[in-house]
Structure 1
Amino acid sequence: MAGYTDKVESTGSQSEEQAHVETVDRPAGPAPVTLQSFAHLDEKAILRKMDLRLIPVLALLYLLSFLDRGNIGNAKIEGLQEDLGMTDDQYNWCLTAFFFTYAAFEVPSNLMLKRVRPSIWLPAIMVAWGVVMTLMGIVHNYAGLLSARIFLGVTEAGLFPGVAYYLTNWYRRDEIQLRQAMFFSAASVAGAFSGLLAFGIGKMDGIAGLHGWQWIFILEGIATVVVACIAFFALHDFPETAKFLTEEERAFVVYRLKYQGQSEDPNRAQVAQADEFRWKYARDAFLDWQIWVNVFVYWGIVCPLYGISLFLPTIIRQLGYQSSQAQLMTVPVYITAAILAVIAAYFSDRVGKRSPFIIGFLLVMVIGFSMCIATDPKENPRVVYAGVFVAACAIYPAFPGVIAWLSNNLSGSLKRSVGMAIQIGVGNLGGAMASNFYRAKDAPQYKLGHGLELGFIGAGIIASLILLIGYSAQNKKRARKIQDGVLDSYTVEELSAKGDRAITFRYVY
């Protein structure tokens, strides 16, 4: 990017960028690049180009990831538990074990992503879990299935936090939720696709002496490996090296990302995000209060998410429907949720707010699970189905919101990488908990499961309010400090090293 390097660039919220551009004083030399230097470029066209090259590939990868971790729910109603001679507790342990290794390996994986190119690391772990998924189709007992689920957690751990962080290297924080939602909506589609696939693959029962549930694992595992091989060539690493952008477009994309979250004070220099690799920034992530509070918001969403994705076919079957009907009845739930996720993300990015949408969806989840817990499924199965429908249509739009909310408020690429991995890694322990919410002995009403979901949702609402109040107070405090002239006591380098703790940084809430 000759001609565009060694400049101090400036980006903040969209309104800030339009309003003014500030640069830091440098020794005499070439005039620094400003936003006006790129005024002749069509920003929307560049974004569309990025969307078309990045989102479909990433969505396909995540669709297969979510499909492969959740298809055990479809396999169960095709006879998995009976054929392997497992008890209900053993089946739940197979669900739970996945999340322990999944959570443990997310931070190390994101650190590897900082060292290894995304176009190599992401497809590599995808090949690994595709092989594990395929081998899961030939297990013969509980021990084999449990071992396979443990290794599936290890190999899948890096994809979601890796892609969530990867997108922040391409899009500004006022654009990220829509892209996170388009990427994450693949999970909703995976839920629908899983039901349709299981319905079709289940008809292969007996072919080559294998059960229908075995074919579900084998065929979906092979598909994952094939797509991973294609992804080696289809993935792009970072804007600086994107071949589908011109040299000037690459410079512009890097420029607009360099500074984010700055205050609106026009009398101070913009401050670059620290981008170098220092273990200090990783330690800062582990000690940041907002990440750990956000984990509770994440649990309030992810526990219901996994409760739905792992047990929805079983819950519907317990309403009196046959297995094939239960598989197909999951489809409209997931399709509707995917559409709502993208719509909600669009409006959240437009207004630049996260908490109103997240808290609103958490309240809708309360309504959905309350419908389930208060209804006798034998007398009103349609009301229970409507309840899980309502809950799912709030869960899937809320999830990309909570990911975007934290990523918006972490400055510095290493801290953001580690912080998002902590959020998703520790947060996904909620999946381990949710794996045991819906016990077979509680069927068909599942009062305990629905009640636990409501408890976590309540904790998520409280944590969201704590973040909202904390962010608002910090923004006001920093604005007062700038008015009092405290900014003059800091160098640009000191502010850059502080990242989101700098008095120039403004939290999104």
Structure 2
Amino acid sequence: MSNMSDVEKRSVSRDSQDENRVGSIYGLPPDPDAHLSEEEREEIDRKLVWKLDWILIPWLCILYLLAFLDRTNIGNAKVAHLTDDLQLRLPDQYNETLTIFFISYSLFEPLTNVLLKKMRPSVFIPVIMVLWGASMTGMGFVYNYSGLMAARWFLGLAEAGLFPGINYYLSCWYKRSELGIRAAIFFSAAALSGSFGGLLAAAIELMDGIGGRPGWAWIFILEGLVTVIFGFASFWMVHDFPDQARFLSEEDRARVVRRLKSDQQSSAEHEEWKMSYLYAGLKDWKMWLGMVIYMGCDMPLYAFSLFLPSIIQELGWSTTVVRSQLLTVPPYAAAALLTVVIGFVADRTRQRGLCNILVSIIGIVGFLMLIASTDPRVKYAGTFLGALGIYPCISNTISWVANNTEGVYKRGVVLGFVIGWGNLNGIVSSNIYYNAPRYLEGHGIIVAYMTLFLLGGSTLMTILLRIENKKRVSGKRDYLIEGKDANEIEALGDKRPDFLYTV
């Protein structure tokens, strides 16, 4: 360990202390590798995680790419004359079609993780995919404002379960120090969908007039049909939780459960729903502060995604519709790369709050450039910094909240509220971009959100968690376990004195 940094030494030391304390207090599942050497056990563990990565992550990334593509492609359709053909009153009626998605999406999100646990991922996720794919396909056949509003409502209702569900699902498979990079890779699909969406929209628009449908309609129809196909395939490709996953042997199931228990998690095991889990989440200050932080990056995320094609079209360059679509690709590609980098760094350093703080400053600078300059080159550079400052904070914040919430259903409830509240702020995203070409109000509101909620909230959360960890290390929370047996202590979840928060 002589060549390790101080941060790595503290991390290793803390890991060892945590595992020793957990092992001494709580009964771990039987170890199928107890007879093996430490080197052999580490090799088996490495191969197990690698197996989980290859079986779980790629397919989930494809599903979220489709989800984000389907919810934001209306921005590409607008540039392709959706609003003209449907005779929408601008900007009010167009913004209302964006708003209604977030209403249904947010209302149903807090419930979805409970449904995911009860129905099993291999059933719940494919069903909602087929439903939202059908809604998306239907958007290609609307003829007026009312039809578009109805299709967007049902799209939000059906999509509500995917993002909180997958993040909760991943947290039931990986250790806290492993979750960030997986969540980042999963969420990078959102940035890639923006990049891919621009390219795809530019190609699909060339179908304008085929079958008597305009180019924007074909964007909805083709992308919706692809989602339906992947939805049916997901009945075989999406797996259940570790204690029921069929692709694992009995030994590997025990290994997954054991490694999570040693990481102070019980999320891999079966647990019956009780209302006390809802109350525990509502009484947890971390959930409420997490909601504040997440709204600080989620509202800017949707505003950026929905309006980037319009922002680029109004930069002042003489661009065709197709070129405007293509110019949206590079900012998203850069954001996808940084999202994965931050996920890796945050996992290694366990400094999720500091990562949020530094990345958010980049985004704030980017939107200030959009406000202050009229030079198209400076403003286009600002879109890069804006994307870089938003996308990494989404997955990092979700991993942060999941890391610090223990218990199968409590974590599901907390993630549902945090993500649901953040997405409810999509209503704000849909109604701030007026007065082209400068869009000063929209950019200004994003700066305010990122400064007050994302930057300010992350700073406050980091400080409070550090204070609480110091109290636990010094024994000031040991009174919570006095007179309790092992089961009662484990039931305390993240309130256990030996549970140290990820800061």
Q: TM-score, normalised by structure 2?
A: 0.91
Matches within 5 A, 1:58-97: 58-87=60-89, 88-97=91-100
* Pairing 1:300–2:296 present: yes
> What corresponds to 1:326 in structure 2?
324
Letter of the 1:292 partner, please give it.
Answer: W
d(CA) in 1 for partners of 2:13, 2:235: 37
Gaps in structure 1 of 5+ consecutive residues: 1-12, 263-269
Residues 365-411 of structure 1: per-residue CA shift (max 9 Å, x gap): 111011110001xxx10100100111101211111100000000101
> What corresponds to 2:461 in structure 1?
467
Matches within 5 A, 1:198-237: 198-237=201-240
Deviation at 1:296, TM superposition (A): 1.4
Question: Residues 34, 354 of structure 1: CA spacing in aligned structure 2 closer, same or farther, 3 A cutoff?
Answer: farther
Question: Residues 183, 310 of structure 1: CA spacing in aligned structure 2 closer, same or farther, 3 A cutoff?
Answer: same
d(CA) in 2 for partners of 1:149, 1:31: 46
- Do the aligned partners of 2:260 and 2:268 also contact (CA within 8 Å) in 1? no
> What corresponds to 2:378 in structure 1?
383
Q: From 344, 347, 355, give the equivalent of 1:346.
A: 344
Q: From 402, 423, 428, give the equivalent of 1:433.
A: 428
d(CA) in 1 for partners of 2:227, 2:320: 29
Residues 143-179 of structure 1: per-residue CA shift (max 9 Å, x gap): 1101111111100000000000000111011000100
Question: Residues 486, 54 of structure 1: CA spacing in aligned structure 2 closer, same or farther, 3 A cutoff?
Answer: closer
> What corresponds to 1:499 in structure 2?
493
Q: From 164, 186, 191, give the equivalent of 2:189.
A: 186
> What corresponds to 1:359 in structure 2?
357
Question: Residues 91, 45 of structure 1: CA spacing in aligned structure 2 closer, same or farther, 3 A cutoff?
Answer: same
d(CA) in 2 for partners of 1:231, 1:272: 21
> What corresponds to 1:317 in structure 2?
313
Q: Secondary structure at the match of 2:491?
A: helix
Letter of the 2:57 partner, please give it.
Answer: I
- Do the aligned partners of 2:205 and 2:219 also contact (CA within 8 Å) in 1? yes
Deviation at 1:283, TM superposition (A): 1.7
- Do the aligned partners of 1:191 and 1:331 also contact (CA within 8 Å) in 2? yes
d(CA) in 2 for partners of 1:463, 1:448: 23
Question: Residues 471, 272 of structure 1: CA spacing in aligned structure 2 closer, same or farther, 3 A cutoff?
Answer: farther
d(CA) in 1 for partners of 2:331, 2:457: 28
> What corresponds to 2:4 in structure 1?
none
d(CA) in 1 for partners of 2:242, 2:489: 25
Gaps in structure 2 of 5+ consecutive residues: 1-10
Q: How many pairs were matched up? A: 483
* Pairing 1:284–2:287 present: no
Residues 86-105 of structure 1: per-residue CA shift (max 9 Å, x gap): 01100000001100110011
Farther off after superposition, 306-315 or 42-51: 42-51
Question: Residues 490, 272 of structure 1: CA spacing in aligned structure 2 closer, same or farther, 3 A cutoff?
Answer: farther
Letter of the 1:63 partner, please give it.
Answer: L
Residues 237-289 of structure 1: per-residue CA shift (max 9 Å, x gap): 12223343333222111101124359xxxxxxx99999442210122112221
- Do the aligned partners of 2:126 and 2:231 also contact (CA within 8 Å) in 1? yes
Matches within 5 A, 1:33-44: 33=31, 36=34, 39=38, 40-41=40-41, 42=43, 43-44=45-46
Question: Residues 128, 37 of structure 1: CA spacing in aligned structure 2 closer, same or farther, 3 A cutoff?
Answer: farther
- Do the aligned partners of 1:14 and 1:174 also contact (CA within 8 Å) in 2? no
Deviation at 1:480, TM superposition (A): 2.8
Farther off after superposition, 426-435 or 67-76: 426-435
Letter of the 2:247 partner, please give it.
Answer: F
Structure 1 residue runs of 4 or more that deviate by more than 6 Å after TM superposition: 270-274, 483-486
Question: Residues 240, 443 of structure 1: CA spacing in aligned structure 2 closer, same or farther, 3 A cutoff?
Answer: same
Question: Residues 146, 446 of structure 1: CA spacing in aligned structure 2 closer, same or farther, 3 A cutoff?
Answer: same
* Pairing 1:452–2:445 present: yes
* Pairing 1:414–2:409 present: yes
Question: Residues 290, 273 of structure 1: CA spacing in aligned structure 2 closer, same or farther, 3 A cutoff?
Answer: farther
Q: Secondary structure at the match of 1:135?
A: helix
- Do the aligned partners of 1:272 and 1:496 also contact (CA within 8 Å) in 2? no
- Do the aligned partners of 1:259 and 1:273 also contact (CA within 8 Å) in 2? no
- Do the aligned partners of 2:309 and 2:324 also contact (CA within 8 Å) in 1? yes
Farther off after superposition, 275-284 or 163-172: 275-284
Deviation at 1:490, TM superposition (A): 3.1
> What corresponds to 1:23 in structure 2?
23
Farther off after superposition, 317-326 or 485-494: 485-494
d(CA) in 1 for partners of 2:430, 2:336: 23
- Do the aligned partners of 2:72 and 2:306 also contact (CA within 8 Å) in 1? yes
Aligned-residue CA RMSD in angstroms?
A: 2.4
> What corresponds to 1:8 in structure 2?
none
Farther off after superposition, 239-248 or 219-228: 239-248
> What corresponds to 2:3 in structure 1?
none
d(CA) in 1 for partners of 2:33, 2:493: 22
Question: Residues 26, 220 of structure 1: CA spacing in aligned structure 2 closer, same or farther, 3 A cutoff?
Answer: closer
Letter of the 1:68 partner, please give it.
Answer: D
Question: Residues 101, 37 of structure 1: CA spacing in aligned structure 2 closer, same or farther, 3 A cutoff?
Answer: farther
Q: Secondary structure at the match of 1:500?
A: helix
- Do the aligned partners of 1:407 and 1:416 also contact (CA within 8 Å) in 2? yes
Matches within 5 A, 1:254-269: 254-261=257-264
- Do the aligned partners of 2:243 and 2:269 also contact (CA within 8 Å) in 1? no
Identity of aligned residues (%): 43
Deviation at 1:204, TM superposition (A): 0.4
> What corresponds to 1:130 in structure 2?
133
Deviation at 1:236, TM superposition (A): 1.2
Question: Residues 123, 17 of structure 1: CA spacing in aligned structure 2 closer, same or farther, 3 A cutoff?
Answer: same
Q: Secondary structure at the match of 2:498?
A: coil
d(CA) in 1 for partners of 2:245, 2:300: 38
d(CA) in 1 for partners of 2:336, 2:57: 15
* Pairing 1:197–2:190 present: no
- Do the aligned partners of 1:274 and 1:499 also contact (CA within 8 Å) in 2? no
d(CA) in 1 for partners of 2:144, 2:306: 20
d(CA) in 1 for partners of 2:448, 2:32: 50
> What corresponds to 1:7 in structure 2?
none
d(CA) in 1 for partners of 2:463, 2:170: 28
d(CA) in 2 for partners of 1:425, 1:356: 24
